[in-house]
Amino acid sequence: MNFESFTLLAATDDLGVEPAARADADGLELRMDFADEPLAQLDDYDGDLPILVTNRPTWEGGEAADTAGRLDALETALKHDAVTAVDLELAALEGAGDHDAGRVADVARDHGASVVVSTHNFESTPDRDAIVSRLERACDRGDVGKMASTAQSPDDVLAMLGATRELTADGEQVATMCMGAAGRHSRAVAPLYGSRIGYAPVDPADATAPGQYDLATLRTLVGQLQNDG
């Protein structure tokens, strides 16, 4: 995955959804921190869609313990041919936790995989300048800078979309979205402003973040909006 254009990922903890995702997804995001035996799932995987692996620690909204094993699992995952991208937290790359997340980025590059550097705010959305600053730091450390924040108002969504457009115009690759009810529509609209990655579950009951559309709905919405443009 090079994310040079919008890429829609089916977010899942079960690679068995791949056949159902093919019609609408460009790839899968395997949430290893939610999954049962994720490395065994990768060993058995024979699907067509490429995979981005995420192993989110508890301090960034996930369920993985902040141990060396979390990063070891990502390195092992990157040895699979189907894994063509990895998500690493900006905070981890900047020193949060007791382990060197940079080694995973090095392994990814050795295997020709892309690095998505992510940051999340589950309480609020900062102002536009703060969003730009944080995403610039993420872009400096990876191939795509990702930010997901919780919107409390339409102004929060405008701040995120404005930052997305600004950074895209400057040649950066970013993936942005606002979580929660007030920000849900940003998942469909952000690609028009340059966001390169969307995330959606095949089944809405399996959402991995607040406010996600199901996969088929998000593909339809993005497609319709892009065709209108």
Q: What is the pLDDT of residue 220?
A: 96
The answer to whether 200 touches 8, Cβ cutoff 8 Å, is yes
Query: Could you say which DSSP state residue 112 is in?
Result: T
Q: What is the pLDDT of residue 205?
A: 82
Q: What is the pTM of this model?
A: 0.95
Q: Which of 80, 111, 146, 185 is catalytic?
A: 146
Q: What is the pLDDT of residue 219?
A: 97
Q: What mean pLDDT do residues 195-212 have?
A: 87
State the amino acid at position 165 in one-letter form: R
Give the C-alpha distances (Å, rounded to integers) separating 169 from 7, 13, 174, 193: 18, 34, 11, 9
Q: Which of 79, 99, 120, 185 is catalytic?
A: 120
pLDDT digits (tens, 9 = 90+) for 123-177: 999 999 999 999 999 999 999 999 999 999 999 999 999 999 999 999 999 999 9
Q: What is the pLDDT of residue 227?
A: 83
Q: What mean pLDDT do residues 214-220 have?
A: 96
Q: What is the pLDDT of residue 229?
A: 53
| pLDDT of 39 over the 60 cut | yes
**Distance between CA atoms of residues 152 and 144, nearest Å:** 25
Q: Of the candidates 99, 84, 153, 94, which has an alpha carbon nearest to the alpha carbon of residue 118? A: 94
| pLDDT of 212 over the 90 cut | no
pLDDT digits (tens, 9 = 90+) for 72-109: 999 999 999 999 999 999 999 998 877 899 999 999 99
146 annotated active-site: yes
The answer to whether 158 touches 125, Cβ cutoff 8 Å, is no
The answer to whether 147 touches 139, Cβ cutoff 8 Å, is no
Domains of the chain: 7-228 (3.20.20.70)
pLDDT digits (tens, 9 = 90+) for 41-69: 999 999 999 999 999 999 999 999 988 99
Q: Would you give the distance in Å from CA 72 to the centre of its chain?
A: 20
Residue matched to tokens 């959804």 = 17
Binding residues for 3-dehydroquinate: 29-31, 56, 187, 208, 212
Burial class (CB in 10 A: 0-12, 13-18, 19+), 4: exposed
Tokens describing residue 15: 């690679």
Q: What is the pLDDT of residue 99?
A: 83
Binding residues: 29-31, 56, 187, 208, 212
* Contacts for 49 with CB less than 8 Å, ≥ 6 apart: 10, 18, 21, 22, 25, 26, 27, 28, 82
79 annotated active-site: no
Please provide residue 120's backbone torsions phi and psi, each rounded to the nearest 5 degrees: -135, 150
